[in-house]
Structure 1
Amino acid sequence: MIAKIIAILAVTLILFFLPAPEGVDSRGMHMAGIFAGTILGLILQPLPTASVALIGLAAAMMTGTMAAKDEALTGFGNPTIWLIVAAFFIADGFLITGLGRRIALMFVSKLGRSSLGLAYGMALTDLVLAPATPSNTARAGGVVYPIIKSLAVVNNSEPTTTESRKRLGSYLLLTAIQVNTITSAMFITAMAGNPLAVGFAEQQGVHITWGTWALGALVPGVVALLAMPWVMMKIYPPTLRQTPDAPDHARVQLKESGPMSRAEIIMLVTFLLLLALWILGSTIGVNATSAAFLGIAILLASKVLTWNDMAKNSGAWSTLIFFSVLVAMAEHLDTLGVITWIGNSVSSLVGDLPWPLAFAVLLLVYFYVHYLFASNTAQIVAMYAVFLAAAVAAGTPAMFAALMFGFAGNLIGGLTHYASGPAGVIFGSGYVPTNEWFKKSFIASVVNIIIWGSVGTLWLMLIGLWN
């Protein structure tokens, strides 16, 4: 414990007292030090996640690095974070009513002979929903997560002990977040930040249509989706591998459950309404978070959920705290000029390299700098245009660079438990500890880089999306 605290303080203080580079606000390195120390605290876990985040926030406010009124607490008003919290309560509805168990039993009856089969079933579900669901948080948190949670519970896998969570839940949930990053990368409309990337590319003379993006991502995306559940099975295997009797057992339980109850029907109708609003939200002007809260309101008004049910969901409230703090810190880093300075510094370092090597360096830095971000969209806003301009200036074909940075802006979403909205939902479930998340997700990121970097490059060359 003492060694962990010393390491956290050392990193924080070293960065805190570094002089601010040109173009960076005088508070910039202070914020960088506190943010880095908070992230290290989340990794080493001397205290629970929410406690570490609040200590970091207190340090930022007490040192004057973040003003309490209009800087430190802004993350608590972020709609994406509240969408994550809402997803927890929607998942509660699935479990309390028994609808989640019913859906889980249906999946088990069709695909339940192995945990790998279940993972591919969830991947297919995510892929089908992705083109029409601009909120990857809504897709992962409101649709996929409740089903996986129910599957885990049905198979006696809960986050209460290491043995129990590793039985099935840990594998399915960490695989789900990696799959979600892939499906998000395959369509402009699968993640809220993708249209922003397209807009930034347009400003630099690169015109990307919905079809162009989807065609460019098709082959590497399918290869990655086929590979990821298998890779995760190798590096993060569940103890429950084969369940040959599960399909028959599930069919028996479904029969014994009888017809759907009133609460299940209300939950199903609410879920279908939410799904429709999430899919059509950008067309009819309904925000994904607003839709989620409408769903919660319906569940409360019909007494399918109660306030006590919501109050007892410690995972939701813990996630609200730590995610809000990190988002506020990450946004403040950008405001103070730290993120721009990092991007410009990297760009200047590759100016004399051959363009393939320069592009590889830029892409890797763009990918792994996401350890400093708590949102895909935040990084796209802060760095996409800077890195695209640097790559094109180095001689990289513009369309190729724009698409690859666009894909990468999604694949980074599983690097950490705070990397994206879906990551926050999955981590809040309690099935995947921080140290396991960082280790296994780094390996998954390497697999994605290899697939999208090799297969993706060859595919873009083959179909002419190169210049």
Structure 2
Amino acid sequence: MMSNSGGPPNVHGTEPATDEHPHHHMNPMWWRAGVPVLVALIVFFLPTPDGVQDGGMHMLAIFVGTILGLILQPLPTGSVALVGLAVAMITQAMTTQEALAGFSNSTIWLIVAAFFIAEGFIVTGLGTRIALLFVRRIGTSSLGLSYGMAVTDLVLAPATPSNTARAGGVVYPIIRSLSELENSTPESDESRKRLGSYMLLTAMQVNVVTSAMFVTAMAGNPLAQDAARGLGVDISWGKWALSALVPGIVSLIAVPWVMSKIYPPTVKKTPGAPDMAREKLREAGKMKRPEWIMAGTFVLLLVLWIFGDQLNVGATTTAFVGIAILLVTGVLRWSNLVSDKGAWQTLVFFAVLVSMADQLKNLGVIDWIGNGVASGVDGMPWLASFAILTLVYFYVHYLFASNTAQIVAMYAVFLGAAIATGAPPIFSALVFGYIGNLFGGLAHYSSGPAGVMYGSGYIKTSEWFRIGFLMSIVLIAIWTIVGGAWMKLLGDW
């Protein structure tokens, strides 16, 4: 199915295939638009509960309506987000300042910057060169390629506090280059399913695992560590990593394989790939000046991302320094940045959701939900109430546009509720900490890396929801059974 955007091929994920377009089938269009509007209206007129400020339910209504719109897609993603934003402003659920606050969110700009850095890998051919080196080594199958990416992610994880930088700046461009080598582009269903959509969805699920394994592998983890300390539970870097080690490794072995069963690429074997890689590396010859600059910039980015805290340089600052170097040296041109639709599209849609989620917290809606949950499991045996709390904490992430946003809003609420029901404090603090990463692949808006992978245009919204949910069950099973046993052995509970 070709994209019907009329312009360049669908490389930006906004007009996923034709069935998501209004002018093709009017009836589904009314149904797709009607459901979010109806649900939003119902919530809008609910009485305001105690503890929620005036306008809180209005904001919740608009947020729920927008999320449903993103799922059902009566309009392309960016359009749905802007309509939701306009409704929030006109109903005065948000002031203009509050509505646009997300556009100054540094994490969102980090995602946008990651797109531009990825562009540098593609334009210079360095991404292709790195990809070819992988292909030459373990590239005889799509599964082998996936494991190669998983190892890359794991090696970088302990030292990269931005999972978005890892996914967007390192893994994404390599997968993009690999996919293009196999003639897999977002232009048609047949083409994207050859390799790209499998590799990107798998990399996403790998990323949530590597993020969970180290305190320093995701920006929200230190916030969870901090919140736990506030409740009297101290978790060291080593303790976090040790308890996550076994379930983490098992997950990394399982994810690419499970994905190859539930969402198989049409290209299974790539027996010619290593030979082709050798041949192309020969053709490419020695590294050219732009590649060296790109490689040097990339090493600089890694060093600054790793030692950012000590040097007092934020991840987003680092990314922009990288872009500046690439622009000054001529590796990237301004036209490369302007024409990157995926980046700008992601900016709009993430910024809107983050603004809305922040406003829900400010109006007390999040606390109201958290308190409701805590009182709901009162008086049960701790294991039963803990199971309920963890599942709610996991799946309530459908309401959030970032891991960090949910951790800030709900981690302390849920950890406090768990400890109150008699759950072991260190065990509870760690489990909620790990979940704060593992839910990052649920939906195409669930985390920074999800924004990068979705923005590529390789994955349809409906596929993302289906695969995200299936993989959440797999990860919950591994971290409950293997992780639970391992943590019992370590004396965490």
**TM-score in same-fold range (> 0.5):** yes
Matches within 5 A, 1:111-150: 111-150=138-177
Aligned counterpart for 1:338 among listed residues 342, 345, 365: 365
Give the 3-state SS of the residue equivalent to 1:227 in structure 2.
Answer: helix
Q: Does 1:21 align with 2:46?
A: no
Matched residues in 2 for 1:226 and 1:143: separation? 20
**Structure 2 contact 361–367 (Cα < 8 Å) conserved:** yes
Which letter maps to 2:72? L
Matched residues in 2 for 1:204 and 1:323: separation? 31
Aligned counterpart for 1:57 among listed residues 85, 92, 97: 85
Counterpart in the other structure of 2:3:
none
Which letter maps to 2:433? G
Residue deviations 1:39-90 (CA, integer Å, cap 9, x gap): 1111111111100000000000000001002x10000000000000001111
Q: Does 1:360 align with 2:387?
A: yes
Counterpart in the other structure of 2:258:
231
Which letter maps to 1:299? L
Which letter maps to 1:32? L
Which letter maps to 1:29? M
Matched residues in 2 for 1:274 and 1:373: separation? 28
Counterpart in the other structure of 2:277:
250
Matches within 5 A, 1:162-201: 162-201=189-228
Matched residues in 2 for 1:198 and 1:95: separation? 37
Counterpart in the other structure of 2:9:
none
Counterpart in the other structure of 2:25:
none
Shift of 1:332: 0.7
Q: Does 1:280 align with 2:294?
A: no
Q: Does 1:443 align with 2:470?
A: yes
Which letter maps to 1:424? G
Residue deviations 1:379-402 (CA, integer Å, cap 9, x gap): 111111111111111111111111
Give the 3-state SS of the residue equivalent to 1:73 in structure 2.
Answer: helix
Matches within 5 A, 1:278-317: 278-317=305-344
Matched residues in 1 for 2:43 and 2:485: separation? 41
TM-score by length of 1: 0.99
Runs of 4+ in 1 over 4 A off after TM superposition: none
Shift of 1:106: 1.1
**Structure 1 contact 104–154 (Cα < 8 Å) conserved:** no
Matched residues in 2 for 1:335 and 1:372: separation? 15
Aligned counterpart for 2:451 among listed residues 424, 429, 453: 424
Counterpart in the other structure of 1:374:
401
Matched residues in 2 for 1:457 and 1:226: separation? 18
**Structure 1 contact 170–431 (Cα < 8 Å) conserved:** yes
Q: Number of aligned pairs?
A: 465
**Structure 1 contact 185–408 (Cα < 8 Å) conserved:** yes
Q: Does 1:351 align with 2:411?
A: no
Which letter maps to 2:208? T
Matched residues in 2 for 1:430 and 1:281: separation? 31
Counterpart in the other structure of 2:128:
101
**Structure 2 contact 439–446 (Cα < 8 Å) conserved:** yes
Shift of 1:313: 0.6
Which letter maps to 2:387? A
Which letter maps to 1:80? T
Shift of 1:440: 0.3
Give the 3-state SS of the residue equivalent to 2:313 in structure 1.
Answer: coil
TM-score by length of 2: 0.93
Structure 2 unpaired stretches of 5+: 1-28
Shift of 1:137: 0.8
Residue deviations 1:194-230 (CA, integer Å, cap 9, x gap): 1111111112121110110000000011111111111
Matched residues in 1 for 2:366 and 2:454: separation? 26
**Structure 1 contact 141–425 (Cα < 8 Å) conserved:** yes
Shift of 1:249: 1.4
Shift of 1:189: 0.6
Which letter maps to 1:38? T
